[in-house]
Amino acid sequence: MDGSQPIGQGRTDRHPGDTYGDILERDSRPVPEHLREGRLPDIGTQPVAASRYTSRAFFDKELRYLWPKVWQFACRLEDIAEVGDTLIYENVGRSLLVVRTAPDTIRAFHNTCLHRGRKLATHNGCKSELRCPYHGMGWNIDGSFKDNPIGWDFPQWEGRDMSLTQAKVDTWGGFVFVNHDPNAPPLMSLIKPLADDFARYDWENRYRAMWIQKKVRCNWKAMTEAFMESHHSLTTHPQILPGIGDANSQYDLPNDYISRHFSAGGVPSPFLSGVTDQDVVDYMTGGGGGRRTRPMADDGKPHKVPEDMSARVYMAELGRRGLAEETGYDYSQASDAEMLDALLYNIFPNMSVWAGHAPKLTYRWRPNGLDVDTGLMDIMIFAPCPKDGPRPAGAPVIELGFDDPVSSIPGMGGLAAVFDQDFGNLPYVQEGLHSTGNGQVHFARYTETRIRHLHQMIDRYIAAGEAASL
């Protein structure tokens, strides 16, 4: 049974103020139907075990049954633009070489020499061959065997296919995905709801304007969860409340592999009272609203909200004009929501892509090697390529250690403080999970639907793997 209920019809697990749907009804442009609340099955309210974040035994189950079976975002197409370009993607001790082997072909090889197991490559670059630095065995960039300096002593290789072993590769929106499971279903069969909704946003025609990789002292799931709901803004990010609808965000599950949550921009938090439209605009044009990812028209005059216009409509129009000036494209038909809102889509298990027309964020979460208690988060900003002129080069990664703040990076604006506040919470979350008295974690019924569903999907993979191994 689906268990879904329409907005505003008897749901007691919603903030009593305006819903996200109510806000959309007041927007200045027609709203794409995909921004309306979708599938929302009843997935229960039971607690989960805190040991899921701290136990080596549970982590080992993820290593064995989850990560080898799921599609993972490895790189962008522009990272391997030329034939021979090779990028190393690593997660939980598994290393792959993602290689453009022909102008229209990408393959992913296990980064292991078939002789004695040494990694074939430890650095990205453009390669004419894949040559093991240990004993010199070589492979062509298409993975086929090339030569062996001591081939006379390997009679067992004669007549055998000694090509490098491969993982599956698929692409969407300029992203390259890999999967270690040779029987994995096609990527598009799992992410179709996202791909359909994003058809308006031309993600292939975007470039990486910023890339930060941060080490964090917490389990990868705890880190992922910090970016799967908005109501923590009340206490963690109070400075952003004048410009975001946090507690009245909308959550749903288009299918088992895609989850979403939408938070309205250009409106104050329902936790605040007495905030005027001018207050909202003053906040959002003053830099606190993450202007780094929101181009705005600016003629040098004070931003005065017309009496017959809401702050949300005013800010959306500034965004349309500013983005048109920056890219050369026409955004006059773009809805207010697509210009202002945080429209987060997650691809199970560890990627988030924001929808909309302006520069948007993408996240990736992974364990930090084989450590239960630490993780890695990639924060990327993707901006539309200008209509005229060359495609901008993708920004290289900026690596931040456990104690390096995001605010140390120039140009992040108000986003830096938001990320630093989240990363300030997470080590204490992990410490608390280790010492909880009752051994349980409780999720809200509606606003943490996506988090509960993440755990249920992980359980599904573990159960399937354990059943197959009997």
pLDDT tens digits, the chain, 470 residues: what are they?
A: 344 444 344 566 788 889 999 999 999 999 999 999 999 999 999 999 999 999 999 999 999 999 999 999 999 999 999 999 999 999 999 999 999 999 999 999 999 999 999 999 999 999 999 999 999 999 999 999 999 999 999 999 999 999 999 999 999 999 999 999 999 999 999 999 999 999 999 999 999 999 999 999 999 999 999 999 999 999 999 999 999 999 999 999 999 999 999 999 999 999 999 999 999 999 999 854 444 455 666 666 789 999 999 999 999 999 999 999 999 999 999 999 999 999 999 999 999 999 999 999 999 999 999 999 999 999 999 999 999 989 999 999 999 999 999 999 998 889 999 999 999 999 999 999 999 999 999 999 999 999 999 999 999 999 999 999 98
Domain ranges of the chain: 20-51+206-468, 72-183
**Which is it for strands 398-400 and 206-216: parallel, antiparallel or unpaired?**
parallel
pLDDT at 300: 65
Of 297, 293, 289, 295, the C-alpha closest to 321 is: 297
Residues belonging to the chain:
470
Alpha-carbon span 299 to 315, nearest angstrom: 14
- DSSP state for residue 455 in the 8-state scheme: H
Share of the chain above pLDDT 90, in %: 91
Alpha-carbon span 207 to 391, nearest angstrom: 8
Alpha-carbon span 308 to 322, nearest angstrom: 22
Read off the tokens for 280. 């909202």
pLDDT at 125: 97
Three-state DSSP class for 275?
A: coil
Among 3.90.1150.10, 3.90.380.10, 3.30.1280.10, 1.10.10.60, what is the CATH number of 20-51+206-468? 3.90.380.10
Q: CATH topology of 20-51+206-468 equal to that of 72-183? A: no
pLDDT at 17: 85
Predicted TM-score of the model (pTM): 0.94
Among 3.90.550.10, 2.30.30.180, 3.10.20.90, 2.102.10.10, what is the CATH number of 72-183? 2.102.10.10
Of 268, 261, 279, 272, the C-alpha closest to 245 is: 268
